[in-house]
Amino acid sequence: MVSSPDVIDPVRVVGRYALYGEIAAGGMATVHFGRLLGPVGFSRTVAIKRLHPQYAKDPEFVSMFLDEARLAARIRHPNVVPTLDVVATQGELFLVMDYVQGESLSRLIRAARDRREPIPLRIVAAIMSGALQGLHAAHEAKNERGEPLHIVHRDISPQNVLVGSDGVARVLDFGVAKAAGRIQTTKEGQLKGKLAYMAPEQIGGQVSRQTDVYAAAIVVWEALTSQRLFSGENEGQILSKVLGGFVQPPSAIVPDLPVALDEIVLRGLAREPAHRYATAREFAIAIERCVGVASSTEVGEWVEAVAHGALASRAEKIAEIESSSSANLHPGLDVGKTSVTSLPDPPVSTASQLSSISVSKSALPARSRTPLLLTAVASVLALGVGGTVVGLMMHKAPAEAAPAPTSHADPTPSASATVETPAASVSATPPATATVTETATATVTATAVHTAHVHAPPPHPTATHAPQKNCDPPYTLDEKGHKIWKPECM
């Protein structure tokens, strides 16, 4: 697949984040794929909301936005997309959030309507119960001194409820929404935002947690019916319907819905805040008790089925971004692979001219020694001495001793590895020996560790008769792993 350049190549680097292609766009900002560029190669995929210039250039908005974003970072709950960072640079504002693989509830409602399939009731209940629990966590958030922050979202809508493929519903954009709410009521008397989800008192400039409860009730109504509650050809018509207060029960649109659920939704839509649920959690509990909730697995499977194409495309883009980011952050590094220098062949021509193979004091790890010894044995066997008993011994010479002759083994080896051939093919000629010392010409360098000295049993005579039946193997091992040769096998 050939991807567009804005997906693979970062548009720009903002602080410690790389900004990639757009995920979505709205009236206040665009949301981009992003990548945290951490130290020592650490990286993480994030979502970065980039505010439109007209907001970023307003000093009052910038001040409130930064303040509210810091407050939003105090909200810690599984049903809230966490705010990770805020970046203000070069006259622009960026809100960094956790990236969640999922789809907004607005798109899921639209997809269900296009398929002419209502969202299953228990799945609606699970999504909205989760969103309401996240709202309650925001309403209850406190500062570091334990004082209530009185956070109100002010912009609850299907666009700001994200349903992950993990089946968890999460609320978005606390910091942005509250900052935008202040601007809405202070800038030249203009009203900005989503009129169709505003409580009557919010239009008059009064907000509380019941304002969010009202907006959430509208979202529940629309998820149950797959229709808009307050719609119109222009803002005037929408505003008139909002202030008029007439609301049909959901069962008037979908007859199969239980009447008890109508009562729950209409209570959340009461015109007077005092007549609504006192908390978002109370609203969530009422929904759960009325119809029950689907498991997160059921919700996740439904999201995957309804939004499969969009999720697959996004997952592919994320994989490309992460691959590209890894390559750019670690040039020339092939993760998971280690460069290994092969052991050079010993400079010998015949078995009688075997030279020692040296291992430097930055010795190989214990697990690496056996393959090295076996490699040396294989080299000796390849030189035509396969018909003899080959002993491969590692020697630790005294520091003051002169280099040992290459044609003799040290009489007191510290370790040995012996490979035997059947007695029928063994001659009486003394075995050829390859000695591993510190004085040979070929050197293998590895990670520095201390070499453990293992005392091997003394040399044994060459076998002159066929082994007995109980000579397989012809040795036993003591408690330290040393070989003890069976007398009857000698």
Q: Which residues are catalytic?
A: 155
Rounded distance between C-alpha atoms, residue 115 and residue 130, angstroms: 25
Rounded distance between C-alpha atoms, residue 94 and residue 46, angstroms: 12
Rounded distance between C-alpha atoms, residue 75 and residue 173, angstroms: 11
Q: Do 94 and 49 form a contact (C-beta atoms < 8 A)? A: yes
Q: Do 439 and 357 form a contact (C-beta atoms < 8 A)? A: no
Exposed, middle or buried, 220 (CB in 10 Å: 0-12/13-18/19+)? buried
Handedness of CA 34, 36, 37, 40 (dihedral sign): negative
Rounded distance between C-alpha atoms, residue 124 and residue 127, angstroms: 5
| Main-chain phi, psi angles of 89, to 5 degrees | -155, 145
Is the previous residue joined to 473 through a cis bond, with omega within 30 degrees of 0?
Answer: yes
Rounded distance between C-alpha atoms, residue 461 and residue 487, angstroms: 10
Q: How many beta carbons lie within 10 A of that of residue 159, not counting itself?
A: 18
Rounded distance between C-alpha atoms, residue 427 and residue 390, angstroms: 12
Q: How many beta carbons lie within 10 A of that of residue 436, not counting itself?
A: 22
Please name the helix (run of DSSP H) or strand (run of DSSP E) that holds residue 85, with its range, or none: strand 83-89
Tokens representing residue 19 in the block: 């900004």
Closest of 203, 226, 220 to residue 277, by C-alpha: 220
Rounded distance between C-alpha atoms, residue 325 and residue 336, angstroms: 17
Q: Do 19 and 29 form a contact (C-beta atoms < 8 A)? A: no
Tokens representing residue 16 in the block: 């410690």
Rounded distance between C-alpha atoms, residue 372 and residue 366, angstroms: 10
Tokens representing residue 181 in the block: 């709410």
Rounded distance between C-alpha atoms, residue 161 and residue 104, angstroms: 6
Give the residue carrying structure tokens 């567009």. 4
Closest of 385, 365, 487 to residue 427, by C-alpha: 385
Angle between helices 280-291 and 209-225 (to 10 degrees): 30
| Main-chain phi, psi angles of 367, to 5 degrees | -70, -20
